[in-house]
Amino acid sequence: MKRWLICILLLLTVSACAPPPWNEPPLHEDLTIVAPGEGAPVKRMTVLLTGWSRGDLSHFVRGAEKTPLIIPIPAFLVERADGYVLIDTGLAPSLATDPSRYVGSFLACLAKGYLKRLIMRPEWAVPARLQALGVEGAQVKHVVLTHAHFDHTGANRAFLDATFHLTDAALDAGRHGGIFKGYMDNDFPPAMKIAPLDFAGTPPFLTFTGSVDLFGDGSMIAVPLPGHSPGAIGVFVRAPSGPTLLVGDAAYLMQNIAEPRLIGLTVDDEAEWDTLCRLKRLQEQMPELRIVPFHDPEVFRSLPTAPEWF
């Protein structure tokens, strides 16, 4: 074959695989901030580390150099006067011992390479972490899901007595998005008690367009953070050590917010950019707010993990 033809074929192959071009629009400079006001503080909160995943910086920060990066996969536990609230449920307990129990033997075989990237132990799964803390599953009254990717929903089935708070779009993605897009329908059984989160017509909060006061006392407030996965949200928590905003995967790393720079995986680039601009503005205007992207190893190391609380 002629050399020029090989070059064209090679170019076509490369351009077919390359991510779509993305020209970052200017930052949104006109964002106003609604102060968080007063609200009841939660008793305390902690981080439950459910595993680590080996990855590459270029997966998390669009356009970054290829650099190996190991990221944490956490869930968060909040203690309130009337019980406990989980924010996400992390990796599935069976992934540590027998992945075929979670995804079936065919998929476990197909995804062998990916599963090898996960670092997990049985005692790291959320139910075991709670047991180590002396918290019974039945004491978890509520689970708030930032979005429906499997590394955030893996232990859902252990909390079917709790009420799950998530958007309809997230629930739909969880049930119908499919494992090849990172959703495990088995984590969303029909028996789940759902309290759908709907931001339509709700008041703005901080730099966000809507807000839902989850328990009516201002202690935990859900905000829309669209762009990464359908119906993604963040949760503002009035922790005793200071206000904290759990952003799920709306940013993988603080670097996504600080520059800002798009994350690797989005369902809507424009919406994700808008979310990052809102987070950046918030970080600049409210430095006392602790912003927590779930997969940032540096942020993770800065937070007390179970059995410590903050």
| Shortest distance in whole angstroms from residue 56 CB to Zn ion | 16
One-letter amino acid for residue 233 of the chain: I
238 is a contact residue toward Zn ion (CB under 5 A): no
Nearest to 49 by CA among 148, 121, 1, 105: 121
Stretch that binds Zn ion, among 19-27, 98-106, 142-150, 287-295 (CB under 5 A): 142-150
| Shortest distance in whole angstroms from residue 238 CB to Zn ion | 25
| Shortest distance in whole angstroms from residue 239 CB to Zn ion | 23
Indicate the residue among 149 and 238 with the shorter CB distance to Zn ion.
Answer: 149
272 is a contact residue toward Zn ion (CB under 5 A): no
Stretch that binds Zn ion, among 85-93, 119-127, 146-154, 266-274 (CB under 5 A): 146-154
Stretch that binds Zn ion, among 7-15, 38-46, 147-155, 204-212 (CB under 5 A): 147-155
| Shortest distance in whole angstroms from residue 2 CB to Zn ion | 45
Indicate the residue among 249 and 274 with the shorter CB distance to Zn ion.
Answer: 249
Indicate the residue among 129 and 295 with the shorter CB distance to Zn ion.
Answer: 295
Give the integer Cα–Cα distance in Å for 33 and 143. 28
Q: Which of residues 111-130 bind Zn ion (CB under 5 A)?
A: none
Indicate the residue among 249 and 272 with the shorter CB distance to Zn ion.
Answer: 249
| Shortest distance in whole angstroms from residue 183 CB to Zn ion | 10
Q: Is the peptide bond before 307 cis (omega within 30 degrees of 0)?
A: yes
149 is a contact residue toward Zn ion (CB under 5 A): yes
Site map 241..260 versus Zn ion, x via CB under 5 A: --------x-----------
Residue entry with tokens 């968060």 = 76
Stretch that binds Zn ion, among 68-76, 111-119, 141-149, 289-297 (CB under 5 A): 141-149
Indicate the residue among 149 and 261 with the shorter CB distance to Zn ion.
Answer: 149
Q: Are strands 118-119 and 68-80 parallel, antiparallel or unpaired?
A: unpaired
Indicate the residue among 53 and 219 with the shorter CB distance to Zn ion.
Answer: 53
Nearest to 99 by CA among 150, 172, 149, 146: 150
CA atoms within 13 A on the CB side of 187: 34
Indicate the residue among 142 and 149 with the shorter CB distance to Zn ion.
Answer: 149
- Size of site (CB under 5 A) for Zn ion: 2
Indicate the residue among 126 and 135 with the shorter CB distance to Zn ion.
Answer: 126
Binding site for Zn ion (CB under 5 A): 149, 249
